[in-house]
């Protein structure tokens, strides 16, 4: 269901609400891919519980897959910090 279409808007995310944001730094170590996946899942769970947004389990799974690929590629191909 799209955001803002439910009859009772009292505790749902509606246009004009502040966005939820998250930021973190990965250390680039062996566990950073799992850490990134975990942070993505926690962020989506916050969207689901705090904002009452419809986040499916499938959306969480796909997001974690994409995050894994992005972090893996960053570790593999990005130059080291100078």
Residue 14 has a pLDDT of 61
How many domains does the chain fold into? Answer: 1
81 occurs within a structural domain: no
Query: pLDDT in tens for each of the 82 residues of the chain?
Result: 333 444 444 555 566 677 888 888 888 888 999 999 999 999 999 999 998 999 999 999 999 999 999 999 999 998 877 7
Q: How far apart are CA 19 and CA 16, in angstroms?
A: 9
Residue 43: which domain range? Answer: 32-76
- pTM for this one? 0.73
9 occurs within a structural domain: no
E strand segments, 1-82: none
Residue 15 has a pLDDT of 63
Residue 60 has a pLDDT of 97
4 occurs within a structural domain: no
67 occurs within a structural domain: yes
Residue 13 has a pLDDT of 56
């Amino acid at each position: 269901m799209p955001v803002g279409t439910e009859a009772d808007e009292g505790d749902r995310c509606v246009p004009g609400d502040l966005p939820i944001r998250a930021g973190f730094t990965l250390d680039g170590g062996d566990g950073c891919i799992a850490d990134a996946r975990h942070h993505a899942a926690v962020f989506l769970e916050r969207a689901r519980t705090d904002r009452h947004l419809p986040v499916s389990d499938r959306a969480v799974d796909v997001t974690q897959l994409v995050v894994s690929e992005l972090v893996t590629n960053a570790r593999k191909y990005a130059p080291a910090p100078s």
